[in-house]
Amino acid sequence: MTFYSQSLTQEKLKLNIAKKMRKLAGVLNASFNEFKELARRITERKNQYMVYGLAMEIYQYYAEIISQIQILECQPFQPQKQHQFSGNETSEYELLNTDNDTISILSECSKVEFNIYRTYKELLKNNLIPADQRELLQHQLNGFLYSLEKLRMLN
């Protein structure tokens, strides 16, 4: 195998990994929006802040995955639809409390959790993902699961 064909193979591998990470970025972005919406419906302030904190954590993971995609593709990431985080969103939550059923909201959190967990596990099954990216993905998944467990323990 010549140097050129070996280099071409590595580029294809990087693009394949980036494609799979794009799927994860999409799931994280959608999950961020879902958790924000769930936080709006919670009336108990501590639970509201926990769910909103979880949304912000997912947004951080989304930003880290975007950074990894940019590194793999050697170009800026252009998502179809990206959340524009203003930083003033906590004030919205005080106005939109409508649901007092914490159990149903935790059930919805579990559905989002399953989707995130499944997407991370699919990505981690790929043996071609470099060790540093694998470590980042595992760290993010563990952090997310820990945060969700803290939320469950409050109730």
Local structure of 42: helix, strand or coil = strand
Rg (C-alpha) for the chain, rounded Å, is 18
Residue 140 domain boundaries: 12-77+94-154
Residue 64 lies in a domain: yes
Residue 45 lies in a domain: yes
Q: From CA 63, how far away is CA 15, in angstroms rounded?
A: 18
- Tally the domains of the chain: 1
Q: What's the pTM value of the predicted model, to 2 decimals? A: 0.79
Q: From CA 146, how far away is CA 138, in angstroms rounded?
A: 12
Return the number of other C-beta atoms located less than 10 Å from residue 31's C-beta. 23
Residue 86 lies in a domain: no
Tell me the pLDDT of the chain averaged across its residues.
Answer: 81
Give pLDDT tens digits for 9-59. Answer: 888 888 989 999 999 999 999 999 999 998 888 888 888 888 899 999 999
For the domain that residue 71 is a member of, what is the CATH number? 1.20.1260.10
Residue 6 lies in a domain: no
Q: From CA 92, how far away is CA 46, in angstroms rounded?
A: 16
- Residue 126 neighbours by CB under 8 Å, 6+ apart: 17, 20
Residue 140 lies in a domain: yes
* Amino acid letter, residue 21: M
